[in-house]
Amino acid sequence: MAKVFKKTKMLTDAHLHYCPGCTHGIVHRLVAESIEELGLQDKAIGIAPVGCAVFAYDYFNCDMQEAAHGRAPAVATGIKRCLPDRLVFVCQGDGDLASIGMAETVHAAARGENITIIFINNSIYGMTGGQMAPTTLIGQKATTCQNGRDPAVNGYPIRVCELLATLDAPYYIERVSTHDVKHVLAAKKAIKKALRFQAEGRGYSFVEVLVSCPTNWHMKPIEALRFMAEETSKTFPLGVYRDKSEGRE
């Protein structure tokens, strides 16, 4: 019988700790597969964030550094500037990237660091148990806004792709989703492209991946995927926000 699927060697054999129905693990696989397919596994150095992906250093089968909360882009800057021929990739969640680490996020992008940021947006603080995130939707419930996010009290969600697209330096910015197979495949394409651009020395690449959180959204996995398709992607429209290789400024 023909083998149609095998696990990439860029992932270790460690069991992922993600909750049932969460699509975060898929993104790790996409990143790992892309690195392997590009033949860059011997050059890869990854940065794990603080948040749901904090144990990413156990999953990726390459050199890893675990960064302080929000500081992964600064850590990546330090590595990449010293070792410019390595592939430096960063996984960050919405709290890490868009809240506590917003300064590092914006400045690494503004400097045009030749690194790849994979931004996991699930609109919630998963690891700490469901608190409001900078990307929580209007009306979406969280343990720190139990009646739903109220703009008058909690402000509005931050659209990071759009924000970074105001900067001159970034080379590639795209938002993708993981709510169905078609979108997962598109996400893979975007992630691989981002990593390839880095390997080609083109500059800062950023892929925002919408991910579900059935546990903290208090939904069944299928419901959560439907919510992403119908609600999350309304606030966070999918698409390419910058691709200098296609002249999209």
Partner 1 sequence: MAKILLHGTEAICEGAIRNGCRAFFGYPITPQNEVPEYMSVNMPKVGGVFVQAESEVAAINMVYGAAGAGVRAMTSSSSPGISLKQEGISYISCARIPCVIVNVMRAGPGLGGILPAQGDYFQATKGGGHGDYHLIVLAPCSAQEACDLTYLAFDLSDKYRVPAMILADGMIGQIMEPVELPPMRPLSDIPKKDWATDGGYGKDRRVLNSLIIKAEELEPHVNALQKTYDEIAANEQRCEEYMIKDAEIVITAYGTVARICKSAAKTLRKEGIKAGVIRPVTLFPFPSKAYERAAEKAEAFLTVELSLGQMVEDVRLAVNGKKPVSFYGRTGGNVMDEEEIVRAAKSALARAREGK
Q: What is the smallest separation between the CB atom of 73 and partner 1, expressed in angstroms?
A: 8
Interatomic CA distance for residues 1 and 244, integer angstroms: 43
Whole-angstrom distance, CA of residue 223 vs CA of residue 238: 20
Applying CB under 8 A, among 24, 71, 149, 179 the residue interacting with partner 1 is 71
Contacts of 152 (CB under 8 A, 6+ apart): none
Q: Which of 9, 218, 220, 248 binds partner 1 (CB under 8 A)?
A: 9
Per CB under 8 A, 204 contacts partner 1: no
**Nearer to partner 1 by C-beta: 129 or 151?**
129
Rg for the chain (alpha carbons), in Å?
Answer: 17
Which region, judged by CB under 8 A, interacts with partner 1, from 57-65, 178-186, 195-203, 213-221?
Answer: 57-65
CB of 214 to partner 1, least distance (A): 24
**What does each C-alpha distance from 161 to 16, 87, 200 come to in angstroms?**
28, 22, 22
The answer to whether residues 207 and 194 touch, using CB atoms and an 8 Å cutoff, is yes
Q: Is 94 one of the binding residues for partner 1 (CB under 8 A)? A: no
Task: Please report whether residue 235 would count as binding partner 1 according to CB under 8 A.
Answer: no
State the Cα–Cα distance between residues 93 and 222, nearest whole angstrom. 22
Question: Which spans of this chain sit near partner 1 (rule: CB under 8 A)?
Answer: 9, 41-45, 47-48, 54-55, 57-58, 61-68, 71, 74-83, 86-87, 103-104, 106-107, 111
